Chain A
Amino acid sequence: MPTVDSAEARLPGTVTIDGNEAAASIAYLASEVIAIYPITPSSAMGESADEWAAARRPNAWGTVPHVIEMQSEGGAAGAVHGALQAGALCTTFTASQGLLLMVPNMFKIAGELTPTVFHVAARAVAAQALSIFGDHSDVMAARQTGFAMLASGSVQEAMDLALVAHAATLEARIPFLHFFDGFRTSHEVAKIGALGAAEVRAMLDDARVREHRRRALSPEHPVVRGTAQNPDVFFQSREAANPYYLACPTIVEQTMERLAGLTGRRYRLFDYVGAPDAERVVVLMGSGAGAAEEVVERLTREGEKVGLVKVRLYRPFSSEHLLAALPSSAQAIAVLDRTKEPGSQGEPLYLDVAVAVAEGGRRARVVGGRYGLSSKEFTPGMVKAVFDELRRDRPRNHFVVGIHDDVTHASLAWDPGYTTEDSGTVSAVFYGLGSDGTVGANKNAIKIIGDETALYAQGYFVYDSKKSGSTTVSHLRFGPRPIRSSYLVQRANFVACHQFSLLERLPVLELADTGATFLVNAPFAPDRVWDRLPRDLQETVLARRLRVFVIDGYRVAREAGMGGRVNTVMQTCFFALAGILPRDEAIAAIKRSIAKAYGRRGAAIVQKNCAAVDMTLAELHEVAIPQAATSTVVRPPVVPADAPTFVREVTARIIAGKGDELPVSALPADGTFPTGTARFEKRALASEIPVWDEDICIQCGKCVLICPHAAIRAKVCAPDALADAPATFKSRPARWKGAFANDRYVLQVAPDDCTGCALCVEICPVKNKSETRLRAINMQPVAPIREAERENWQFFLDLDDPARDALHPSQVKDVQLMTPLIEFSGACSGCGETPYLKLMSQLFGDRTLIANATGCSSIYGANLPTTPWTTNRDGRGPAWANSLFEDNAEFGLGMRLALDKQAEYACELLARLAPVVGAELVTALTTADQSDESGISAQRARVAMLRERLRDVDDNAARDLASVAASLVRADVWIVGGDGWAYDIGYGGLDHVLASGRNVNVLVLDTEVYSNTGGQMSKATPRGAVAKFAAGGKPLPKKDLGLLMMTYGHVYVASVAMGADDSQCLKAFREAESYDGPSLVIAYSHCIAHGYDMVHALDQQKALVASGAWPLYRYDPRLAAAGKNPLQLDAKPPSLAFKDYAYNEGRYSMLAQADPEAARRALVLADADVRRRWSLYQQLAAVACSAGPEGAA
């Protein structure tokens, strides 16, 4: 590992923060009103602003900004617009779809020449798929709004140019969109020069602030804005703002100069670096400039005439300034866009530059290329490939770089081994699990290095797509010179693997440089570790002459009272081995960092972490490396050899972390993927799995019902089906009457798919009479039984499924025998949402279309590499799609309309083709009773017969009928989403769809918080619960969505909590589905965002219902039609104090710790909310009803 000089004290005025914090800190200082809505990767900006406001941190004028979370980005933009009109200094933060929702207001704000800054962590816009990662497709979709656009390419720039934007907008009166690359910049932690209130005051002209206020609406000097204009004057009015746009570039240039005067950091509208006489020039904006600048530096050192133009001010686009920056010697120019505009002449920056060059009379050849979509790595090798291309006589135009396009052959080849990393910079990579604290430890390490030494430091973190058992890879760099490398570590001097099991799953030494240090956390003695390493890893150690160090981090952590979190232990090892600071100083710095990071959580936690530090070094050992590889451990195949071709050739490579290597041809052009692929991704996360005690089991099926990952299954089968069962395969006589009376009951766990949440054990109603701690299913270490259980699982899968027509779907006991059609999702261990989806899939999955709102359920439901939605043996299963966050109800309604229209058309065609089809079949098809599964099954047979009869008919109508014949079979539409969708952003649409009367089923998975984006308050959040944007506890009660929808009268509404009453839940699902009209099921879903161990979730659901805070009820309009009260309360009156439920959860108890008085007040009010609501429901349920003239449905 290279040594780094850390002798100097820390640089004055530096901070170690990420790009979001850098931008948000300036925005906060420069604003009075901040209206936001969370969206990745910008959420942290709004959250920081809210936390600062909650802590009464003042802005640059000494007053605390008002921060408000809105119901959508459209709402945030509207609030910003209004606040601007009323004279406030205003800002917002957003990304991607969120920015698109702001576009209408952006036109207005710009049209009215209103100064403001929108800070955007630029992210891909969903097209063939959603992506949370960074590119410029969102900001480019806003370039027509009239906003000025300023691009930052690093954390430092995110802070500096944020200030330039806030200063320039006031003078220019043109609103600014300040953007930087999502994740690469927004989430990169770096040591930068800090700006504070003084700099903000120095840069923002108070006179301009007052001018802005003078222009505001006021009854003291009233004006009208937002008129409707006609053909006579609109055009002229639109042109009237031209002088402001013409002046804007110069204003920005002057503002940048003022910043340079304050900080010494000089920016220009277009920054040029490279040879003054460059012949080949690359033009780009954003973080890619970091990699490009490194290449330019290296090539110019090597005598090549190359250069780079970094675009800062993209709108208004100043050709004059671009041409001034571009060397006149430039002969070939490649303009790189981080976006794609299908069907265009070229991407936007390319077109702008091409026009500027042409209009400026330059003779240079200009070509355009795309790179880096959705945070695709953009490396020095790729930049070099572009420069190499420009050397050709006729450089390729409209190329792509960074992928292999084997379809339209637009890609440039690049050398992945080409590197420009500073040899004085130390690079380190760390492989860990989300749950072990690796990322947090590395963030602390960067802060320590940044704050305690003169070194520059950079950290970037890669997370996987799963919410349970997710792996993380941390990329750290530190060195004596500023770090510009805007790409992942390519050659690491230090590699750490914090989880021994990852050695078999990930190529952890892929990035290890020759002579690097390799640290591994292993539960083995130092002299036993070598033989446990996979063979190919041993070979890499020998070939690259690595030094290997080992610590049994889990033992140290356990002994220090840290449980499973090895973060502090491994961080201490890193400092001991990296030698950045003398050991004593490093230890002291780590302890200071612990006190800072954990001090607020109480002395006990600080003490435990410090104890772990003290215990670590004695346990850290170097491993003696033999001369040759000795291991017999080989990596298991990623997917089984008999998996489908697509899974083997595409999915498996994504699972293995090799998705970047897939060519364009490997991927579907329209984003359509096969379902049922999660079963091939065996993640083997659990260290303990449930084991069935068949002797005491009562076969109730509750464990099967509650399992979030469908990893526990039950079947009944004839005894002879078990003749060839594996030796350890268990069964017992089925405790059923009727069809299964003589069968055997089997309950089987999927050992590689279970996440070890233990909800199955908690829900088990049986206790062992000899040892009451034991249930009929108990957690046991998986290692000794894994192989046997794998065999058992495979045998179980091959058993026939019980015949559905022999099952009683109204019984939980029978539902366990229905095949789940969502399995092994990436949801959190112990997830409270997935059991509802699984139940829905068991009951109706073979005839269901799902419209899924963006959120947790869309992520665990369809985040590559694999998909959990699957099919039954007939190949039928849920067909699933996600449109957006805000439009999901409408999206589902559209599905319903299509199905209904096609069914209607099919009936019309049937009538027309009756002579061909046969009158009897036509009648049967058009009048079929499909109210139950046998009816549906019979109709499917009729449709098959219809198709058969139509097969040879040479008639257009017959072919048409065949194409819509499937619509004659009853199909459900389930509209699924979380509370953020249903209560907030999608509420308007949900309301409209339910009001439409159409037959759709809405399932709201209510976690009472925005779970997927990290716990922001929604209108479903209960009073007194702490959430992001409700740091002081939500001050107002939860919105009563069910009650609102009951007022329509024609909407079936149910409130369920499976953990409290599974029978009521099952009844509600079946009623909702059977109701020929709109239905709404609001399902309480426990969530890790509630702040307690999910193993207690079912007890908490019972307590929740017992407290009255979640009344179970069903409102069935069919009862009203029959003259009965449609509202049935399914829970007893509250019998538990709200406090006794709530204070088991961190979201409530935290407030008592943070602000006891506020917590006490909230508790009193929350208690009153519960009583008031219960009383209201009781009254509603007691009202005598009579049948309406037509009934409700």
Chain B
Amino acid sequence: MIDLSTTYLGHALRSPLVMSAGPLGEDVDAIRAAEDAGVGAVVLPSLFEEQLDIESRDLDRHLTRGTESYAEALSYFPAVGAYRLGPDAYLDHIARVKAAVDVPVIGSLNGVSSGGWVQYARLIEEAGADALELNVYFIPTDLDVDGRAVERMYEDLVRDVCAAVGIPVAVKLAPFFSAMAHVAARLVAAGAKGLVLFNRFYQPDLDVERLEVVQDLRLSTADELRLRLRWVAILYRRIAADLAVTGGIHDAVDVLKAMMAGAAVAMMTSALLIHGVGHLAVVRDALRRWMEEHEYTSIRQMQGSMSQRAVAEPAAFERANYLHVLRSYRQPSR
């Protein structure tokens, strides 16, 4: 019997396949289907503090625009008893998902203010989330803010949130740090129980016909996996935190690579958007088949087996690898 179980953020999971934060997580039925397809845990879509502020401001504008200006139309909308602004809808969603599935449910939070991070983290915990993923989506564009300041900001918010909640906290990071390993270590020291590698920043495109900046969602490709594999492999067992790979996991082989690099879980969104939630079962079954064929008995057996510390050529994950790759490149024959 193949054992797919793993441990992530203190929770025993039946499978390393985790549905990562994405639009599918808005639908309780889809989450239920993911559980049926063997998912190990679910990360809900992020609660965006900024979005809550925007909603509040927009609603105020809608309700205020044109009012008290003209005697016949002192307002344009009815006074509705209550709007479900703020995090209420999100928190209700957590509760509904918790009631619907048995697998661990991980809340996700994308804040903008230090007060907001802590406040909403507490609310997510109170709503029943089993763990919390901090989705730090921050692009430092200020010419006066240096890298140390950015790192300190990450560290402070992780410390504040971890001090405020009892559930384990993971941090979803971008790869754009000068000293990734150091940052990882500092975040773990600040209380993070897991690191989710990596956040995919949506990159704007330019439409040269319409002369517009295009902001569309491009799904991940398997090519993106390599960056994640490198850092999971480097960090595995060097920091006291679980590692999760997100971005580029599309099939069972991708999951195997993540596990062997040292990940506790492999998170999927793009593949599920492309193939449907049922794809989880396909991956799970393929995983089992591969493991049977290759005589693996458990996921734990392979976890970290190809991490930097476990491979024959640790330098392959470092600069030496760069030189090697360059030398190995051959111009395709024409």
Which A positions have Cβ atoms within 8 angstroms of B?
40-41, 43-44, 47, 50-51, 54-55, 132, 183, 187, 433-435, 437-440, 443, 461, 463, 466-467, 470, 472, 565, 598, 600-605, 767, 769, 772, 828, 859, 1011-1015, 1026-1031, 1088-1089, 1091-1093, 1146-1147, 1149-1150, 1153-1156
**Given contact pairs A1012-B72, A1153-B83, A602 touches B66 in the complex (Cβ within 8 A):** no
**Pairwise interchain contact A604-B52, C-beta atoms closer than 8 A:** yes
Per CB-CB distance, the 7 closest pairs between chain A and chain B, nearest first, are: A434-B69, A602-B56, A1146-B62, A1014-B73, A1091-B62, A1015-B76, A602-B85
**Pairwise interchain contact B69-A601, C-beta atoms closer than 8 A:** no
User: Which residue of B52, B61, B72 is within 8 Å of A1014 (Cβ)?
Assistant: B72
B79 at the interface (CB under 8 A from A): yes
**Pairwise interchain contact B55-A828, C-beta atoms closer than 8 A:** no
Q: Which of B48-101 contact A (CB under 8 A)?
A: 52-53, 55-86, 89
B143 at the interface (CB under 8 A from A): no
User: Which residue of B57, B58, B66, B84 is within 8 Å of A828 (Cβ)?
Assistant: B66
B211 at the interface (CB under 8 A from A): yes
Closest to B59 in A: A601
**Given contact pairs A601-B83, A602-B59, A767-B211, A1150 touches B70 in the complex (Cβ within 8 A):** no
User: Which residue of B55, B59, B64, B75 is within 8 Å of A1015 (Cβ)?
Assistant: B75
How long is the Cα–Cα vector from A440 to B74 in the complex, in angstroms?
10
How long is the Cα–Cα vector from A1011 to B53 in the complex, in angstroms?
29
- B317 CB to closest chain A CB (Å) equals 42
**Residues of chain A contacted by B79 (CB below 8 angstroms):** 51
- A68 CB to closest chain B CB (Å) equals 15
**Given contact pairs A602-B55, A1088-B65, A1154-B83, A1013 touches B77 in the complex (Cβ within 8 A):** no
User: Which residue of A472, A859, A1089 is within 8 Å of B72 (Cβ)?
Assistant: A859
**Pairwise interchain contact B62-A1092, C-beta atoms closer than 8 A:** yes
How long is the Cα–Cα vector from A1146 to B68 in the complex, in angstroms?
18
- B118 CB to closest chain A CB (Å) equals 14
**Residues of chain A contacted by B83 (CB below 8 angstroms):** 600-602, 1150, 1153-1154
- A1103 CB to closest chain B CB (Å) equals 15
User: Which residue of B56, B66, B72, B82 is within 8 Å of A1088 (Cβ)?
Assistant: B66
**Residues of chain A contacted by B82 (CB below 8 angstroms):** 600, 1154
How long is the Cα–Cα vector from A953 to B67 in the complex, in angstroms?
61
**Residues of chain B contacted by A1028 (CB below 8 angstroms):** 77-78
How many A-B residue pairs have C-beta atoms within 8 angstroms? Tell me: 159
**Residues of chain A contacted by B53 (CB below 8 angstroms):** 602, 604
**Pairwise interchain contact B59-A1153, C-beta atoms closer than 8 A:** yes
**Pairwise interchain contact B84-A1013, C-beta atoms closer than 8 A:** no
**Residues of chain B contacted by A51 (CB below 8 angstroms):** 78-80
**Given contact pairs A54-B80, A1012-B73, A1146-B58, A472 touches B68 in the complex (Cβ within 8 A):** yes
How long is the Cα–Cα vector from A601 to B63 in the complex, in angstroms?
9
Closest to A461 in B: B68
How long is the Cα–Cα vector from A187 to B70 in the complex, in angstroms?
13
**Given contact pairs A1088-B76, A1154-B83, A440 touches B67 in the complex (Cβ within 8 A):** yes
**Residues of chain B contacted by A1026 (CB below 8 angstroms):** 77-78, 80
- A202 CB to closest chain B CB (Å) equals 28
**Pairwise interchain contact B78-A183, C-beta atoms closer than 8 A:** no
How long is the Cα–Cα vector from A1091 to B212 in the complex, in angstroms?
26
Q: How large is the interface on B (under 10, 10 to 19, 20 to 34, 35 or more residues)?
A: 35 or more
**Pairwise interchain contact A1150-B76, C-beta atoms closer than 8 A:** no
Q: A40-B71, A437-B64, A467-B70 are known; give 20 further A-B pairs, CB within 8 A.
A: A51-B78, A434-B69, A434-B70, A438-B68, A440-B64, A463-B69, A466-B70, A598-B60, A600-B80, A600-B82, A604-B57, A1011-B73, A1015-B77, A1026-B78, A1030-B78, A1088-B65, A1091-B65, A1146-B59, A1146-B61, A1154-B82
**Pairwise interchain contact B89-A1156, C-beta atoms closer than 8 A:** yes
- A662 CB to closest chain B CB (Å) equals 21
- A1128 CB to closest chain B CB (Å) equals 28
**Residues of chain B contacted by A435 (CB below 8 angstroms):** 66, 69
- B122 CB to closest chain A CB (Å) equals 15
**Pairwise interchain contact A1091-B80, C-beta atoms closer than 8 A:** no
**Given contact pairs A437-B64, A1088-B76, A1156-B84, A1150 touches B59 in the complex (Cβ within 8 A):** yes
**Residues of chain A contacted by B67 (CB below 8 angstroms):** 434, 440
B20-54 interface mask toward A, CB cutoff 8 Å, 1 = contact, 0 = none? 00000000000000000000000000000000110
**Residues of chain A contacted by B64 (CB below 8 angstroms):** 437, 440, 565
**Pairwise interchain contact B85-A1153, C-beta atoms closer than 8 A:** yes
**Given contact pairs A467-B70, A1091-B62, A602 touches B86 in the complex (Cβ within 8 A):** yes
**Pairwise interchain contact A772-B80, C-beta atoms closer than 8 A:** no
Closest to B68 in A: A439
Closest to A606 in B: B56
**Given contact pairs A463-B70, A1091-B62, A601 touches B76 in the complex (Cβ within 8 A):** no
**Residues of chain B contacted by A828 (CB below 8 angstroms):** 66
A-B contact pairs, 22 of them (CB 8 A): A41-B72, A183-B71, A437-B68, A443-B68, A461-B68, A463-B70, A467-B69, A565-B64, A598-B60, A602-B52, A859-B72, A1013-B72, A1014-B74, A1015-B75, A1026-B80, A1027-B78, A1028-B77, A1088-B66, A1088-B76, A1089-B77, A1091-B77, A1156-B84
- A163 CB to closest chain B CB (Å) equals 24
Closest to A375 in B: B71
- A363 CB to closest chain B CB (Å) equals 46
- B111 CB to closest chain A CB (Å) equals 13
Closest to A1011 in B: B73
How long is the Cα–Cα vector from A239 to B57 in the complex, in angstroms?
63
- B95 CB to closest chain A CB (Å) equals 14
How long is the Cα–Cα vector from A187 to B67 in the complex, in angstroms?
15
Closest to B210 in A: A767
**Given contact pairs A602-B55, A604-B53, A1156-B84, A1031 touches B78 in the complex (Cβ within 8 A):** yes
How long is the Cα–Cα vector from A439 to B64 in the complex, in angstroms?
12
How long is the Cα–Cα vector from A1027 to B59 in the complex, in angstroms?
14
Closest to B119 in A: A603
Q: Residue among A767, A1031, A1154 with the most chain B CB within 10 A?
A: A1154
User: Which residue of A605, A1014, A1154 is within 8 Å of B75 (Cβ)?
Assistant: A1014
- A1012 CB to closest chain B CB (Å) equals 6
**Pairwise interchain contact A472-B75, C-beta atoms closer than 8 A:** no
**Residues of chain B contacted by A54 (CB below 8 angstroms):** 78, 80-81
Closest to A47 in B: B78
Q: Which of B163-217 contact A (CB under 8 A)?
A: 211-212
**Residues of chain B contacted by A1013 (CB below 8 angstroms):** 72-73
**Pairwise interchain contact A603-B86, C-beta atoms closer than 8 A:** yes
**Given contact pairs A602-B56, A1156-B84, A1093 touches B61 in the complex (Cβ within 8 A):** yes
**Given contact pairs A602-B60, A1013-B72, A1146 touches B77 in the complex (Cβ within 8 A):** yes
Q: Residue among A440, A1092, A1150 with the most chain B CB within 10 A?
A: A1150
Closest to B67 in A: A440
- A99 CB to closest chain B CB (Å) equals 17
- A952 CB to closest chain B CB (Å) equals 53
How long is the Cα–Cα vector from A306 to B236 in the complex, in angstroms?
99
- B220 CB to closest chain A CB (Å) equals 23
**Given contact pairs A605-B56, A1093-B61, A1156-B89, A772 touches B78 in the complex (Cβ within 8 A):** no
Q: Residue among B72, B77, B81 with the most chain A CB within 10 A?
A: B72
**Pairwise interchain contact B69-A1091, C-beta atoms closer than 8 A:** no
Closest to B84 in A: A1153
- A755 CB to closest chain B CB (Å) equals 13
**Pairwise interchain contact B77-A1150, C-beta atoms closer than 8 A:** yes
**Pairwise interchain contact B77-A55, C-beta atoms closer than 8 A:** no
**Residues of chain A contacted by B60 (CB below 8 angstroms):** 598, 601-602, 605
- B237 CB to closest chain A CB (Å) equals 43
**Residues of chain A contacted by B61 (CB below 8 angstroms):** 1093, 1146
**Residues of chain B contacted by A605 (CB below 8 angstroms):** 56-57, 59-60
**Given contact pairs A601-B63, A602-B60, A1150 touches B69 in the complex (Cβ within 8 A):** no
How long is the Cα–Cα vector from A41 to B71 in the complex, in angstroms?
8
**Given contact pairs A605-B57, A1013-B73, A1091-B65, A1029 touches B78 in the complex (Cβ within 8 A):** yes
Closest to A1015 in B: B76
